[in-house]
Amino acid sequence: MGSNRRSVSVLALIGSLLLTGENTAQAAPNTFNTALPVAQGQYLWREQLVLRERSDDGPLDREVSVQALGSVLGYGVTSKFAVFGMVPYFFNKELDVTTPMGRVERDTAGFGDISLFGRYTLYKKDFTGSTFRVAPVFGLTAPTGDDNDSDRFGELPRPLQAGDGAWDVFGGAVVTYQTLQYQVDGQLLYRENGRHDGFARGDETRFDASLQYRIWPRSMKGVPGTPGFVYALLESNLIHRERDDVGSGTDANSGGTQWLLAPGLQYVSRGWIVEGTVQLPVAEDPRGDAIEDDYIVRVGFRRNF
Amino acid sequence: MVRKLTLLLSALTVSIAVLAADNQYVLGVDGLACPFCAYGIEKRLNKVDGVTGVQVDVGESVVHVILQEGKTLTEDQARKAVDEAGFTLRSYSKAEGKKGGSNGQ
């Protein structure tokens, strides 16, 4: 019994150490946070399936697997100001780890924390066939997800929960330059994570860039109306996370810096966008034994109405 | 071959609709650079009283607005609709050579 309790404590500790920096199925930055307009009175609906695998090479052989759906609804309040709501649903969020009891699997499912944010187009310069826009973004994440799920070993470690129980705020700016041939987006975002029940995820700073290059139609000469475009995508995500707060100290095995590159494809029509990318780590500098990303697949669609 | 046929069909569709309309305005719109953005301007212009059709020619940055007989689209109405869609009106004219005015940026 005592051994079991010790094992459970070890599991809780391992979980909280290993899942640090768990990024839920955020809509951004996978080409979502452009500074492009959502027309006044227009809605934008987006669904994105996220498959994320993380692991380490340590003796615990930790593996984290996340399958989630990110749902986003946006609305153009004015031509310059749009509001968005985003909620992730976790089909499965699973940790596999080697313990003194052997290989152990712990998992959860359910809705995560809701994010609400606004985007205001501060500057725009339109040209014939192109546009340049700058838009600050501010938002918050509410603790709507379950943050005290448990299994036969007891309460799940905090980072494995669908929600983290805390209010978070984030803000930044997104810049877009779009022409008929290509589009470039850059986003700088800072997220300050709140504290709940003795735990706070490390704050996060990220710089995301995205290039979308039209590969079909190859030329717009003589093409009437509004044909669908096919873009080749290449995204870059540079992310730095501070250490998590645990109790009165910080978790030495959390946080760090990573750089991901994501090639992909996007089909854009008047009413629909269908897109997919695979984010792959190019460089990772985790602190201590923080777990690292293997890959993140994002596929989904957007709909205008 | 398929691509040529598609283009020809699209061109025919646009041309027939445009030729059939005898109450039409042509708006030059700056900032239009992708199909997804075109939807917003279509939706906004369709709310203007009397508008029966909107065709965006994204490659030329031009929007054709077709109205019911006897209805008019003023330059102010056009500018407001284009602004609310998040773009900039570059030019405004009534089709069939009857210029309703022109106003560069």
Using a 10 angstrom Cβ sphere, with 0-12 exposed, 13-18 middle and 19 or more buried, the burial of residue A187 is: buried
A126: contact with B, CB 8 A cutoff = yes
The whole-angstrom separation of Cα A178 and Cα A34 is 10
* Contact call for B83 and A183, based on CB within 8 A: no
Q: In this model, does residue A21 exceed pLDDT 50?
A: no
pLDDT tens digits, A197-237? 999 999 999 999 999 999 999 999 889 999 999 999 999 99
**Cβ(A90)–Cβ(A162) below 8 Å:** yes
pLDDT tens digits, A37-89? 788 999 999 999 999 999 987 788 899 999 999 999 999 999 999 999 999 99
**Cβ(B21)–Cβ(B50) below 8 Å:** no
The reported pLDDT for the residue numbered A159 is: 85
pLDDT tens digits, B32-77? 998 988 999 999 999 999 999 999 999 999 999 999 999 999 999 9
Find the CB nearest B10 among A38, A178, A227: A227
Nearest CA in chain B to A179: B33
pLDDT-derived band at A140, boundaries 50, 70, 90: very high
Interface list for chain B against chain A, based on CB atoms closer than 8 Å = 3, 7, 10-11, 13-15, 28, 30-44, 47, 55-59, 61, 83-88, 90, 105
Nearest CA in chain A to B11: A224
pLDDT-derived band at A29, boundaries 50, 70, 90: very low
- Predicted structure pTM score: 0.85
The reported pLDDT for the residue numbered A20 is: 35
Cis bond leading into A217, ω under 30°?
yes
Domain boundaries, chain B: 2-94
Domain containing residue A254? 2-304
The domain defined by B2-94 carries CATH number 3.40.1350.10: no
Cis bond leading into A29, ω under 30°?
yes
* Contact call for B35 and A130, based on CB within 8 A: no
A218: contact with B, CB 8 A cutoff = no
**B84–chain A nearest CA distance, Å:** 5
What lies within 8 Å, CB to CB, of A264 at 6+ separation is A232, A233, A234, A235, A275, A276, A277, A278, A298
* Contact call for B43 and A39, based on CB within 8 A: yes
Nearest CA in chain B to A216: B3
* Contact call for A271 and B88, based on CB within 8 A: no
Q: How many domains does chain A have?
A: 1
Pick from A40, A25, A29, A112: nearest CA to A83: A40
Interface test with A, best of B6, B15, B37 (most A CBs within 10 A): B37
Q: In this model, does residue A130 exceed pLDDT 70?
A: yes
pLDDT tens digits, A256-292? 999 999 999 999 999 999 999 999 999 999 988 888 9
Provide the b/e sequence for A42-55 (b: ≥16 CB within 10 Å). Answer: bebebebbbbbebb
Contacts of A42 in chain B (CB under 8 A): 39-40, 43-44
The mean of the pLDDT values for chain A is: 88
ipTM of the modeled complex: 0.84
The whole-angstrom separation of Cα B86 and Cα B83 is 5
The reported pLDDT for the residue numbered B20 is: 52
* Contact call for A37 and B86, based on CB within 8 A: yes
The reported pLDDT for the residue numbered A206 is: 94
* Contact call for A304 and B39, based on CB within 8 A: yes
Pick from A114, A48, A122, A49: nearest CA to A84: A114
**B76–chain A nearest CA distance, Å:** 16
* Contact call for A225 and B10, based on CB within 8 A: yes
pLDDT-derived band at A16, boundaries 50, 70, 90: very low
Q: In this model, does residue A3 exceed pLDDT 60?
A: no
Q: In this model, does residue B1 exceed pLDDT 90?
A: no
Restricting to A residues 177-196, those with a Cβ less than 8 Å away from any Cβ of B are 178-180, 183
CATH of the domain at A150: 2.40.160.40
